[in-house]
Each structure stands twice: as C-alpha cells, then as structure tokens.
Amino acid sequence: MTDPVALRTASRPPRLDAVSKVRGGLRYCGDLPPAGVLHARLVTAPVAHAVLNGVDAGAALDLPGVLAVLTAADLPIAEPDDSRVFQPLANGEILWAGHPVAIVVAETEAAAEDGVEAVSLDYTALEAVLDLEAAARPDSPRARRSKHGRQASLENVHGAIGAPESETIVDEELSDNVVRRYLYRSGDVDAVMAQCDVVLQRRYRAGWVHQVPLEAPVAVASVDADGALTVHTSTQALFITRDMLASVFGLPQTKVRVVATPMGGSFGSKFALAEPLAAGAALALGRPVRLAMTRTEDFLASNPAAAAVMDVRVGASARGDLEALDARLMFDDGAFADLSCEMLAAFCIGGPYRWRAFRVKALGAETNRFGTGAYRAPGAPQAIFALESLIDELAQRTGRDALELRLDNLVGEGDPRIDGIAWSRTGMRQCLERLRDHPLWQRRSELPENEGVGVAAGVWTGARDAAGAVCRLDGDGTVTIVTGIADMTGAESTLAALAAAELDLPLEHVRMVSADTTAAPYAPPSGGSSATYLFGPAVRAAAREVRDQLIELAADELEAAVEDLELAGGEVRVKGAEFRAIGVAALAESVWSFGGSMAPVQAQSRTLAEHAAPLSSANLVHLRVDPDTHEVTVLSCVAVQDVGHALNPALIEAQIEGGAAQGIGRALLEELVHDGSGVLVTDSLMGYALPVAEGTPRIEIQLVEEPSDEGPWGARGVGEAPVLAVPAAVGNAIGAATGLRMTALPMTAARIWRARQDDAR
C-alpha cells in the first residue's frame, strides 16, 4: 500500500519556504528591526454628501517625504461590498463630512500631514440626508446612492439575541434609507392598550456619542515576500479582524496574521477600522504602513454610537401593573449600517418586565453621518433611557413607589423575552431590593430643594460563543495560559486567578499569553461582556487537564494510584499520607530536561457557552439642578450589579466605576454636534465634553451574586451593564429635583432650561 504521505510527496513538492528563499524575499533575523515603515494620514471629506469626481494628488506628491496618495481604486480590494471594511475609502461617493477619501503615505507622520493639506478634492455636492426622521420618509432622497447589495456585518456577533419575527414592517411606508426593519411582537397590543387605565406615550431622542478611548485607532501592516499580510493592531477582535481582512483583500485566512497589541481603551470602537486602511496601503505599496489616527481623525472618521429617535407607549393598570408596550425605535445607521444597534435596542426596550402584549419595531436608517460602531452596550443606554423614564413617569402617575412598581412587574425565570427566548435567572430582583433598602432611596423625601434621587434599571443579554485555551507547564513549575483574547478590563488577570485556583498555585506562577492569529486557539472577540464568561471555562478546562496530567505523572513517580492523589500547595501528594509527595516544580524539571523520558504537560481546551447569561444593573443617582443656570451636579451614584460571582472584586468595581462615569457623560455632557450642513463641530476634545474626575462623584458599588449556569464559578459578564441605566437614573433624578421630564440625551443645562420653558407654557 502506498501511504498517503507518499502520495502527497510523490510530486516532490519543494520546501514550503523554497520560493521565498530562492527569490531572496525571506526576512532573516539580521533583517530586524524591519526598515522602511511608512506613515499614513487620512484625507477626509469636507462635505456631508457628494459625488467624488477626483482626487488631485499632484501638489502632495511634490512634497518631500510624501510617497503616495491612495484612493479607493488603489486598494487591492477583492470584491465590493456595502460594509465599511470593504470600502475603507470613499468609492465615488462621499457619504459624510469626515469620510476618508484618500490616504497620504509618507516617510514621516509630519510629511503625511503636510501631504493631506496639499490634496485637493473634486466633488459635486449632493443633497445631504441629515435628519433621521426625514430620512425614513418615503420622499427622502437617498443618503447612499452607490450600493452593491452585499453586506458583511457584525450584526449580533455574539448570537445572544433571538431572531425578529419579520423584517417587514407592513403598516408603514418608509424610504429606502431604512435598511433594517425588525419587528418583535406578542399579543394584540392595540386591544390590550385600549383596556389600560393609564397609557403614557413619549418621544425620546439620543444624540451621537463617541467612545473616546485614550488611544485612537492604530494599525501597522506589512506584507512579506509570499504576499502574506501581517497587521499589528489595537483590536477587540483578533480573529474577526483576520477573517475580515482575508475577505476584503481576497487572501486565504492562512495568509493573514493579526497581532493584537495592548489596547489603550476601546469601549466597542475597535472592530476593524484602521486595519483595512493600513493593510490596503501596505498591499498596494509593498511597504510596511503605519496608521495611527489623530484625535480629530478619530472624531471625524471613525465609528461612534448612533443617534436614535424612540417612540414609546406603555399601558398599565391603575395601580401600575404593566400591560402593553408599543415601541418604534429608529436608529441612525449613518453611512455604514454595519452594526445592528436597533436589534439590541429592541431587546432592551422590553426591560426586565412582564408585558401582556408588545409590539417593538426597530428600524435602522442610513443618513450622511459617520459609519456606526459599537459602544458599550450598543443601543441600550438609549432604549433604557426611554423605557425607564416612562416607567418612572408611570409610577408618578399611578402614585406608586418607583422601585416597588418595578419589583412588582419583574419577569420570572422562563418568561418570554421580547425576542421570544425564555428569560434565564437574573439577579435583578436583588439589585432593586438593595436600592429600595438604601438610605438614599429611603430618605429621598428629606432632600433640600432642587435636589432629587432617580432610579433606573437595565438588563443586558450577555454573550454566547465558543472559546479555547492552552495550559502549558513550564520548566520552572509555573504555568502558561495561551488564548487569543484581546485583553480588556483586566480579563487576563481574572483568567490567571482561575487557572491558579484550578492548579492551587500562587497567582504569580501563572503567566498569561495572548497569542496572535497564527498560534492562538479559537477566540471570540472581547466584547458583549464576554471575556471572563467565555474564556473562563476554557482556561479552567485546560488547567484541569494539566492537573490530571500532573497527577498521572506523579502516580508513576510515587507508585500510587491516580485516585489516591491530589494536587495541592504546589505538590502532588497521597491523600492522607502527605509526606508522600512530589513537587510540581520537580515534575516540571523532569518534563523539561531535553532528551528526557516524560511527555510534556500541556493541554488545549475547547468549550462552548451554549446560553448567554443576562447582566442586571440598577442605579440610584442623587443630584442637584441649579435653579438659575440649570447646571446639574451629580452628588452621588449607587451602582448595584449582578455579576454572578465576583471573581476579582477590584477589577469589577473598576469597570462599574468607569461605566457609571460614562453613563453620567452620556446623560449630561456628551454629544457629537454637527452644523446645519452636516459638518462636525465637536471634532476635538476642545468641543466634545467628556466627564472628568472633578465632576464625577464617588460611585458606591454593591455586587449581587446570582450565579449563572455556565460562567466560571457562576460569574456573569460585567462590562456593559454599568452604563445601561445611568442616563435614565440621571433623567429621573432631574425629574425628582425639578418636576421636569427630560426626553433627550444629553440633558444639558440648555435642554433643561428649554424643558422648563416648555413646562411653563
């Protein structure tokens, strides 16, 4: 019999590296460090909507150090597609003021910047579609004329939201700008609503906000002699970025290597943005290209969180039993509808409440504003602001305690969610009970004038996905854990503790390695509050297998049965005869004596979290509204969150603190403001107001631990929940302080003043 290896070598295939060696393209150690890295800067569009006729690069190319001005046609993109990664540069049509039109590539960043100034664009202005509601009307002009009808999307990447009933909204005529139309419904909303004692309806709005990580998007791309692409990047999604780049440039996945560098913040913004630009330029020029976006480029040209207009109607009994929910959520999908915010918002608009009947329409409309991106619980703070404001108003209207009303209407385990999936166990009841019993809530009536306490609650779905991890015993008795995680929020630190616990080793004997796409096990993106929830079981499983291997090796050495042995305190010992023991370090040394006679101690796990575990969060906000200036001062904020199991309270609290601060920012300060022609006004931190330490109160944090079924030690995700309810709680506190019902985010002093004027009329 001819063996199958021989079949594969019968044609005498050359060495894998033969061609690159023979052609002199292979890079050896002596070729380090890599030379000739070029720097890129973006030419961004000055108008919101236009036909791009041409780019005049002549003057730029005459500048010293400028090597190339690349436009869409210069990037070797395999096949056009309507998602942004496939169109990293404007492709004949300018879609927003800030749309990258060209990349200037130069020897230095300064030269590239000079080059950008020297590029002139030839374009023919088109009518800009700037108003979200108008964009959806049947008579609206199109915000995006040139489309290919094919779209890769990050939609529901975590698989945690059930499919909508239908994508066709039959009772409304809408323009073609409305590219996504979801409908979730149950029962006869109109009939139930008609029977309700109280029906409240309001229109809520939320503006565009930016994630503003400390580190703006950055990627460094290079191409080797075999045409293989390597991209170093600050990313949340190692493998998604690899897969996207492979698709975009028509490369096999094996020819794309993505290396995740330490991340200087992200909050959802880093799912492939600088990468296709740097990679496209590197592929076009055959030189390494670095694109480190400036703060202004990040404001103008990246993927912030979408604005929304949300019409919500709730019906209830006289004593505040929730009966019917009718919601129409319109999200601004901007120039690129890559993320389905509206779907996530649809889940959130139902809240953690029982409804006899509901109808939730979720619409996404293209406009000439940005490309949309993910930002910490995409769509949720907006939707929760709307729902929880209205619930609060309902409590007031029905004379109920706002917390009791919420507690009375909570869903139970097994009840259907908006998306039809059964609710799994949550810790929301405990969260709300903690707030109900909190002195701030109990004594809210004793506050001075112009102060108020608001409450709000929110649930996030959590994520489900597979994961993998490697655990390797090293020669000095320490263990190395290898994953493909993009480390955020200290997730790796928690994973190290999980491994240390399984192996009963000190924390400092565990080293975490986040490998690149060539060597890492399957890794889901870090997002959707998933890192610990998904990677935790993978790390534990790999560590447990290593523990079993150690016990097996020790059984030989100690001449004992495997079942009589335990791993504890850095040694494997005979239960009940602990003087018969062998240290992990001694076993490690034997394993790592090259030429020795022990198999290596190492394991790779493959785990699957089949169900997402919801995250619950509730806030009290205490604030003061200046009666003259209408400026809001947040005096304190209580954050209660169900984390399932607090694996590392310090890291969890840090996330909650940061999330609450971002919530306060979204409530009071942050908004990307455009002028009437659609040009961004807030294009730097001079104009875009972020919460700073000075204006942020101490966040009082309480953790609830209602264990999840699949998380490590019952842990749930953490990262997204802290921001969910804060804007609503702030709004409700403003209501308590002023009697005014705020309906637009951010709730600036100007808007509060206007609300007071409207109220006075």
CB-wise, 15 or 761, nearer to a second copy? 15
CB-wise, 165 or 474, nearer to a second copy? 474
Query: Using CB under 8 A, which of 101, 482, 574, 734 touches a second copy?
Result: 482
Query: Using CB under 8 A, which of 134, 174, 199, 466 touches a second copy?
Result: 466
Judged on CB neighbours under 10 Å (0-12, 13-18, 19+), 65 is: middle
Report if residue 246 touches a second copy, rule: CB under 8 A: yes
Report if residue 58 touches a second copy, rule: CB under 8 A: no
Judged on CB neighbours under 10 Å (0-12, 13-18, 19+), 139 is: exposed
CB-wise, 147 or 611, nearer to a second copy? 611
β-pairing, 100-106 with 38-44? antiparallel
Report if residue 19 touches a second copy, rule: CB under 8 A: no
Structure tokens at 340: 């389905």
CB-wise, 98 or 536, nearer to a second copy? 536
CB-wise, 263 or 457, nearer to a second copy? 263
Query: Using CB under 8 A, which of 195, 201, 253, 629 touches a second copy?
Result: 253
Query: Using CB under 8 A, which of 296, 424, 604, 696 touches a second copy?
Result: 604
Residues from 277 through 336 that contact a second copy (CB under 8 A): 288, 290, 292
CB-wise, 493 or 702, nearer to a second copy? 493
Query: Using CB under 8 A, which of 1, 12, 171, 414 touches a second copy?
Result: 12
CB-wise, 312 or 470, nearer to a second copy? 470
CB-wise, 191 or 507, nearer to a second copy? 507
CB-wise, 459 or 471, nearer to a second copy? 471
Pair 467, 483: CB distance under 8 Å: yes
Give 410's DSSP letter.
Answer: B
Report if residue 7 touches a second copy, rule: CB under 8 A: yes
CA distances for 431 relative to 391, 640, 705, 723, angstroms: 17, 6, 10, 15
Pair 468, 654: CB distance under 8 Å: no
Query: Segment contacting a second copy (CB under 8 A): 232-240, 279-287, 313-321, 332-340?
Result: 232-240
Query: Using CB under 8 A, which of 595, 686, 693, 757 touches a second copy?
Result: 595
CB-wise, 293 or 733, nearer to a second copy? 293
Smallest distance from a second copy to CB 655, Å: 11
Separation between Cα atoms, residue 732 and residue 740, nearest integer Å: 9
Smallest distance from a second copy to CB 207, Å: 29
Nearest CA among 590, 506, 500 for reference residue 547: 500
Nearest CA among 456, 445, 313 for reference residue 736: 445
Query: Using CB under 8 A, which of 240, 284, 565, 742 touches a second copy?
Result: 240
Pair 249, 77: CB distance under 8 Å: yes
Residue 171: how many CA atoms within 13 Å on its side-chain side?
6
Query: Segment contacting a second copy (CB under 8 A): 90-98, 249-257, 402-410, 445-453?
Result: 249-257
Place of tokens 């079981």: 537
Separation between Cα atoms, residue 70 and residue 412, nearest integer Å: 56
CB-wise, 52 or 512, nearer to a second copy? 512
Residues from 517 through 546 that contact a second copy (CB under 8 A): 518-522, 524-525
β-pairing, 465-473 with 479-483? antiparallel
Smallest distance from a second copy to CB 497, Å: 5
Give 595's DSSP letter.
Answer: T
CB-wise, 30 or 576, nearer to a second copy? 30
CA distances for 383 relative to 122, 169, 347, 441, angstroms: 41, 20, 9, 24
Residues from 144 through 163 that contact a second copy (CB under 8 A): 156-160
Smallest distance from a second copy to CB 268, Å: 15
CB-wise, 105 or 189, nearer to a second copy? 105
Neighbours of 481 (CB within 10 A): 26
Query: Using CB under 8 A, which of 1, 5, 686, 693 touches a second copy?
Result: 5
Smallest distance from a second copy to CB 210, Å: 19
Smallest distance from a second copy to CB 112, Å: 14
Count of chain residues binding a second copy (CB under 8 A)? 113
Neighbours of 230 (CB within 10 A): 21
Report if residue 592 touches a second copy, rule: CB under 8 A: yes
Cα-Cα end-to-end distance for the chain = 95
CB-wise, 174 or 513, nearer to a second copy? 513
Query: Using CB under 8 A, which of 205, 210, 232, 406 touches a second copy?
Result: 232
CB-wise, 235 or 368, nearer to a second copy? 235
Residues from 255 through 274 that contact a second copy (CB under 8 A): 261-264
Neighbours of 739 (CB within 10 A): 12
Residues from 205 through 224 that contact a second copy (CB under 8 A): 215, 218-220
Contacts for 459 with CB less than 8 Å, ≥ 6 apart: 348, 351, 352, 426, 428, 614, 615, 616, 617, 724
Residues from 385 through 414 that contact a second copy (CB under 8 A): none
Report if residue 492 touches a second copy, rule: CB under 8 A: yes
Chain centroid, CA 346 distance in Å = 17
CB-wise, 470 or 726, nearer to a second copy? 470
Report if residue 32 touches a second copy, rule: CB under 8 A: yes
Rg (CA), the chain: 28
Smallest distance from a second copy to CB 735, Å: 37
Separation between Cα atoms, residue 227 and residue 25, nearest integer Å: 10
Structure tokens at 167: 């994508």
Angle at 188 between CA 183 and CA 189, to 5 degrees: 70
Nearest CA among 79, 462, 87, 85 for reference residue 258: 85
Pair 218, 41: CB distance under 8 Å: no
Query: Using CB under 8 A, which of 86, 123, 204, 239 touches a second copy?
Result: 239
β-pairing, 308-316 with 577-583? unpaired
> For the stretch 103-124, what's the b/e string if a residue is b when 16 or more beta carbons lie within 10 angstroms of its beta carbon?
bbbbeebebbebbbebbebebe
Pair 372, 334: CB distance under 8 Å: yes
Task: Name the residue type at position 496.
Answer: A
Q: Which helix (H) or strand (E) holds 66?
A: strand 66-70
Report if residue 42 touches a second copy, rule: CB under 8 A: no
CB-wise, 53 or 253, nearer to a second copy? 253
Query: Segment contacting a second copy (CB under 8 A): 135-143, 237-245, 333-341, 390-398?
Result: 237-245
Report if residue 633 touches a second copy, rule: CB under 8 A: no
Query: Using CB under 8 A, which of 285, 647, 667, 672 touches a second copy?
Result: 647
Report if residue 181 touches a second copy, rule: CB under 8 A: no
Query: Segment contacting a second copy (CB under 8 A): 374-382, 399-407, 465-473, 661-669?
Result: 465-473
Query: Segment contacting a second copy (CB under 8 A): 299-307, 347-355, 438-446, 469-477?
Result: 469-477
Residues from 542 through 571 that contact a second copy (CB under 8 A): 549
Report if residue 420 touches a second copy, rule: CB under 8 A: no
Give 750's DSSP letter.
Answer: H
Angle at 550 between CA 547 and CA 551, to 5 degrees: 90
